[in-house]
Chains A and B, each alone.
Chain A
Amino acid sequence: MIDPAQGIDRIADVLISNGKIVDIVDASSGATYDDHEVIDASCKIVAPGFVDLHTHLRDPGQEWKETIVTGTKAAAHGGFTTISAMPNTDPVQDSAAVVDDVMRRAAADGVVRVLPIGAISVGQKGNQLAPMGELADSGVIGFSDDGNPVADANLMRQALSYSVELGLPIINHAEDKKIGAGGVMSAGAVATRLGLAGVPSEAETTMVVRDLQLADLTKARLHVPHISTIGSLVALRSAKERGVDVTAEVTPHHLTLNDEWVFGLHGEVPSTVGSEAYDTNTKVNPPLRSRADVEAVIEALSDGLIDIIATDHAPHAATDKVCTYNEAALGINVLETAFSSVFGLVDTGKLSVVRLIESLTAGPAAILRKDLGSLKKGFSADVVIIDPGSKWVVDPTQFESKSVNSPLAGVELAGRVVQTIYQGETVFEVSENVNVGVGQ
């Protein structure tokens, strides 16, 4: 059992009753549970259900890509028991009415917890602040204009300043859209060989620097989503050292994939560009970066500079991806491969399993300031069971998600989520795994 919030990493039993964690009992106690249903998780990792701060559910507005039902099922499949719905829906989550609708339907139809994120500006247009107080009252856990960076520095300053009273973070997609305008992947040798317009890292870094300065000015909470460049990390470290109230997340794909994946050979660099190149499932924003950037974000996650992992799960329909690279939509379907893909870094010794689980549980819960992400007594019984030895080959057609846009199709991963329990109920269980049986 691994529960980083309590510093637990040992063999133990978790007692659950009425949807809550009742107790944690050392395995050596010899306790028996004849009157309980028993889940045998020997040789498995039992951890708190994962918490994602960055999910796109596409509902309302783009239900052909994902819905609250399929998105929460995908979350359960990936071991997540709490996800955060980004506001780039149609209509935008920029009013209590839309947020209330999402929360009501998520409570009724979702299989895991959904926490909404409100827009920073009306319609995510970057002109006028959304009713942030009203949104806070309706339960949003932060504010973001998602893929639309707040380009106007003064509006960003005001949003940060206004949020101080609410105590909620501003989550700004950091990208200067003018630098590398028209770019569809990370600038560099791969983009040059493929003739694809490149976006330099500085498009992200410059806005991260700006946002950190404004957070310092306003003493507000800033959360940097999907941080991906060495320059951003340098700025983040400096800001944390001088006490800026900032947290940062990194996605599974920016930890594990680089721009060479655009060649379509799972990261191999071919001597000649083949017809498998221009893999549109690798098109994402921020773009997949260089090898050096990937190494840097792994190290920063490992040493705690980057606080958490968040998925930026971005489902897209096949028609959005079966096209030229320029035309393809931005985003990767991540929830169901998130843990296993990053678990590869544990296998190679670059990341500890405790830190990995912390970055998916205690880390995000701390940013949310909610009683989540731990197996403490009295907490919601949100539990994930992982088989660290189980290997599986990613087949997006088997996803619970409505969409299949994963560049990992056909890739073998280890560390499989075999069961997910939400509020004491099993919401996902691997069907073919005979080692996980429910006793009594």
Chain B
Amino acid sequence: MTNPTTTVGNGAAAEATDVTEATAAPRHHLLDLDDLSSSEITELLDSAEGMLEITGRGVRKTPALRGKTIITMFFENSTRTRVSFEQAGKILGADVINVTASASSVSKGESLLNTVKTLQAMQIDALVVRHPHSGAPYFISNHTDAAVVNAGDGTHAHPTQSLLDLFTVRNHIDDMTGKKIAIVGDVLYSRVARSNIIAFQKMGAEVTVSCPNTLIPDEWQLGSVLDESTGFGGLKLAKNVDEAVDSADVVMALRIQQERQDAGHLPSLREYSDRWGINSKRMALANDRALLMHPGPMNEGVEISSEVAHGAQSVVEEQVRNGVAVRMAVLYALCAPGKSTRIGNSDEGPRGISVKERTEIETVPPTKRGSGKS
């Protein structure tokens, strides 16, 4: 662990690292959202607006990251997240190499270390990692100069999912201050829940969760509000799902896994569906214009009824579409040539993609418009 690393937006520490290692390769990562300020998050989301426009073009290609190499390294099955990152990198002109590995074939840490060092030796610019073990991207970031992007680590964090969720909500709700976000589902095992609690709270929203008592940490109590010592200060733990959904502006259902039933956390998925499933009756308790979200893949009929999953309030497909734009913004901020590799460091000013830069991107590619749907 010889390489002291800096995470995205890690203000003072990033400054110090840059001063002493000005000529070193970028060491900036997106490991979680806990060290990003709301303004830094806003800059990223602003950048994603421009990226979303690019993804809607007939010819979806810019040279912004031409000559850059991005590796996606997934130690867990994933379709949407991996493809989303791959597409994001390719639209930006980067070479994207997908490495699929099972954590069991790379079961010993030395092998994970060796894998990372091998990739490092190949001069890569970014490493997008999903791993079943919490903290794996942090470990990797200590052993590579490439920018590490956490694409989901164990039960810890999934920062790009949270960014795309924020982005999706922002497109419907201008100001999240004081808005009620209800997260319903497996909080104990959900990295999406944890990152989203942090993300929405940072943007000023009030987050309430609801789930069976067996699926929250032992030190949490249903019917209470967490204090700062928990690391999730202000989080409300509803007594039941109706209380959580009541007057909510956003209702987010999380995927419930069969293995929770097998491990004894739940009597049955049937009972879960009955007591915590989001259906039209429960959505009726929320605000009239409340958004319904789900990070996917959905177990329709279990945590979310088909009726509401595909209903007027559902933004599930928007979430997927926005995922590409948000990941473009992240990769651009971390890998774009000649830029500070820092996202939104407050000392340096916002480093998300600016309007001017977006214009440059738009003008550089050979735009042969008209052939596409746009």
Contact = CB atoms under 8 A, between A and B. Distances in A.
Interface in A290-338: 319-328
A189 interface: yes
Contact of A194 (B109, B112, B135, B219): B135
A195 B155 contact: yes
B135 A196 contact: yes
Contact of B134 (A196, A275, A322): A196
B93 to A, nearest CB: 29
Given A278-B139, A323-B139, A189 B110 contact: no
Contacts of B136: 324
Given A195-B153, A324-B109, A324-B136, A275 B231 contact: no
Contacts of A390: none
Given A275-B7, A325-B134, A326-B133, A194 B113 contact: no
B23 interface: no
A187 B219 contact: yes
A325 B135 contact: yes
Interface string A213-227: 000000000000000
B231 A324 contact: no
Given A195-B135, A198-B217, A322 B113 contact: yes
Given A189-B229, A192-B230, 14 more contacts: A187-B217, A189-B230, A195-B154, A196-B156, A198-B218, A200-B218, A271-B34, A275-B5, A275-B141, A278-B135, A278-B138, A323-B139, A327-B108, A328-B109
A191 to B, nearest CB: 7
B346 to A, nearest CB: 14
B219 A192 contact: yes
Contact of B191 (A195, A277, A323, A325): A195
B278 interface: no
Contact of A197 (B7, B31, B108, B155): B155
A276 B138 CA distance: 8
Given A198-B217, A319-B109, A323-B113, A189 B134 contact: no
Contacts of A43: none
Interface centre among A194, A197, A272, A275 (most CB of B within 10 A): A275
Q: Which of B138, B157, B232 has the most CB of A within 10 A?
A: B138
B156 A194 contact: yes
A274 interface: yes
A188 interface: yes
Contacts of A322: 1, 109-110, 113
Nearest to B148: A275
A195 B142 contact: no
B89 to A, nearest CB: 23
B342 interface: no
Counting chain B CB atoms within 10 Å of each CB, the highest count among A276, A319, A321, A325 belongs to A325
Q: Interface majority SS on B: helix, strand, loop or mixed? A: loop
A370 interface: no
A106 B96 CA distance: 57
A255 to B, nearest CB: 23
A273 B108 contact: no
A191 B153 CA distance: 14
Interface string B101-119: 0000001111011000000
B123 to A, nearest CB: 21
Most buried by A among B109, B113, B232: B109
Interface in B9-40: 10, 13, 29, 31-32, 34-35
B218 A187 contact: yes
A323 B35 CA distance: 24
A326 B134 contact: yes
Lowest 9 A-B CB distances belong to which pairs? A323-B109, A195-B156, A278-B135, A272-B35, A195-B134, A324-B133, A193-B231, A326-B133, A319-B110
Contacts of A278: 134-135, 138-139
Nearest to A320: B109
B180 interface: no
Given A194-B156, A273-B32, A324 B217 contact: no
B194 interface: yes
B131 interface: yes
A436 B154 CA distance: 52
14 contacts: A188-B217, A191-B217, A192-B231, A193-B231, A193-B232, A195-B156, A196-B135, A200-B218, A274-B35, A276-B1, A278-B139, A322-B109, A324-B131, A327-B108
Interface string B50-64: 000000000000000
A322 B230 CA distance: 28
Interface string B85-107: 00000000000000000000001
Contacts of B194: 195
Contacts of B131: 324
Contacts of B7: 272, 274-275
